[in-house]
Amino acid sequence: MPLIIVVAGIALLLLLTIKIKLNTFVSLIIVSIAVAIASGMDLNKVVTSVESGLGGTLGHIGLIFGFGVMLGRLLADAGGAQRIALTMLNYFGKKRLDWAVVCSAFIVGIALFFEVGLILLVPILFAIAREAKISPMFMCVPMLSGLLVAHGFLPPHPGPTVIAREYGADVGLVLIYGIIVGIPTFILCGPVLNKFCQRIIPDAFKKEGNIASLGATRRFSENEMPGFGISFLTAMLPVILMAVVTIIQMTHAKNAAESGTFYNVLLFLGNSTIAMLISLLFAIYTMGLGRGKTIPELMDSCGKAIAGIAGLLLIIGGGGAFKQVLIDSGVGQYISTLVSGMDINPILMAWGVAAFLRICLGSATVAAISTAGLVIPLLAVHPSTNLALITLATGAGSCICSHVNDASFWMIKDFFGLTTKETLLSWTLMSTLLSLCGLLFILLASIIL
């Protein structure tokens, strides 16, 4: 019965969002309440469970998400993201544009959320394609692989950040493992897969694409952009802070109690929220005050960044509500008990559930957060499981098979002038391979670590 309730809940969510076209946040709340009632939860606990899930999820990631999106906006508005992309392209040269693009997208993708990074990088790619006299499609798959790896595997992106918190994983450790797993993943699914795509859909690599829907996009002149070094440092500072402190914490774990004030200060600075705040303040200077901008100008950019994510925050909160209902109603525990008797690797379980929900729902973030409600009870049966790797497995599963129910599918199709078939054989194929490669490297890491 609990399995039927979960499947029915997902079916209802699809009906509300796709057929009726109801707002995703409202749909998630309706489905959460329906699943709670169908599971036999006391009516006086239903709303409490929904509010607890929504508040608990947003309470943790609200600050990280907010600081992160403001940092990314400052980097973009100052021309820092464009500087990173152009420098990488100049370094690798025309013959290795795919390598330049995948590296640029990964670096920029750490600071910018997927859709923002896509909208920012696409005009740059089109300009470079015109200068190189090639189709922008030659750089499409590498760019998307770099952005998607960052989106699915790395904090401060919403999916990895939320599920790391739900599983009790160390965010810094997730970041380090995510980079280790992510690099070979985006290499295989970017430059390597790109060669294969040129063979199976050759006509797509003759198209010029169309980005008129983006309107007038600003192209910074050489003198307007900040230097590569400071742009790179600004984008990577949260990664550096969290990674360095995590490494120190790992190497001094046995002596943590004797490490005193200095050690505690380091832990404080490496906390994901504090690291993002420090990075934002650093960006305000390097991408703003240090370049002659005023505080009102910078706060205008930050305000626009926050306004742009209001809807996404609500959807994330709705996903958190659904996750909490699955836990509080006992559905998650039932499925955990059912699966624990099958002796399934929890990494495979997390990946499989996230992959199923991603294919059904379309949203990687909602799929990842909802997965936590089914996987958390299973972790009690496997207490020795590496929580950082479980987080990455969930993130990898949530990246799989982006297709017609995902808004990104249609954005990519329109930007690059592809047919539906060509989009399936490029973007959908890449996202599926990326998810599978990510799972493979995570399983290898679980053996080694």
Q: List the structure tokens of 56.
A: 């608990």
Could you tell me which residues come within 8 angstroms of residue 100 by beta carbon, excluding any fewer than 6 positions away? 88, 89, 91, 92, 93
pLDDT of residue 190: 96
DSSP reduced 3-state for 435: helix
pTM to 2 decimals? 0.84
pLDDT of residue 51: 94
Q: Is the pLDDT of residue 224 over 80?
A: yes
Number of structural domains found in the chain: 1
Q: What is the CA radius of gyration of the chain?
A: 22
Q: Is the pLDDT of residue 225 over 90?
A: yes
Q: Is the pLDDT of residue 165 over 80?
A: yes
Nearest 10 degrees: CA dihedral of 384, 387, 389, 394?
120
Q: How confident is the model at residue 422 (pLDDT cuts 50, 70, 90)?
A: very high
Q: Is the pLDDT of residue 251 over 90?
A: no
Half-sphere exposure of 345 (CA within 13 A, CB side): 15
User: What's the Cα-to-Cα distance from 395 to each of 41, 142, 247, 369, 438, rounded to whole Å?
Assistant: 29, 19, 22, 9, 9
Q: How confident is the model at residue 348 (pLDDT cuts 50, 70, 90)?
A: very high
Amino acid code (one letter) for 164: A
- Residue-wise pLDDT for 46-77, tens only, equals 999 999 999 888 876 788 888 988 998 899 89
Q: Please, are residues 102 and 145 in contact by the beta-carbon 8 Å criterion? A: yes
State mean pLDDT over 295-313. 87
Q: How far is CA 57 from the centre of its chain?
A: 16
Cα dihedral across residues 419, 425, 426, 427: positive or negative: positive
Amino acid code (one letter) for 413: K
- Helix orientation angle between 43-77 and 295-308, rounded to the nearest 10 degrees: 140
pLDDT of residue 374: 86
Q: List the structure tokens of 185.
A: 């993943």
How does 197-233 read in b/e, with b if 16+ C-beta sit within 10 Å?
Answer: beeebeebbeeebebeeeeeeeebeeeebbebebbbb
Range of the domain at 147: 2-448
Q: How far is CA 29 from the centre of its chain?
A: 22
pLDDT of residue 340: 65
Q: How far is CA 308 from the centre of its chain?
A: 16
Count of positions (residues) in the chain: 449
Comparison of pLDDT for 141 and 305, the residue scoring more: 141
User: What's the Cα-to-Cα distance from 195 to each of 51, 137, 189, 252, rounded to whole Å?
Assistant: 48, 12, 10, 45
Q: Please, are residues 390 and 352 in contact by the beta-carbon 8 Å criterion? A: no
Q: Residue 24 and residue 40: Cα distance in Å, rounded?
A: 25
Could you tell me which residues come within 8 angstroms of residue 340 by beta carbon, excluding any fewer than 6 positions away? 378, 381
∠ CA 388-158-104, rounded to 5°: 90
∠ CA 45-48-53, rounded to 5°: 125
pLDDT of residue 341: 67
Long-range contacts, 403-409 (Cβ 8 Å, 24+): 403/359, 403/362, 403/428, 405/14, 405/18, 405/360, 405/361, 405/362, 406/362, 406/363, 407/115, 407/362, 408/114, 408/115, 408/118
State mean pLDDT over 102-131. 84
Return the closest-CA partner of residue 187 out of 433, 365, 391, 6: 433
pLDDT winner (highest mean) among 250-259, 312-321, 433-442:
433-442
Pick left, alpha or beta for residue 402 (phi over 0 → left; psi -120 to 50 → alpha; otherwise beta). Answer: beta
Could you tell me which residues come within 8 angstroms of residue 39 by beta carbon, excluding any fewer than 6 positions away? 2, 5, 325, 329, 330, 331
- Residue-wise pLDDT for 195-216, tens only, equals 999 999 999 999 988 877 665 5
pLDDT winner (highest mean) among 225-229, 246-250, 271-275, 336-340:
225-229
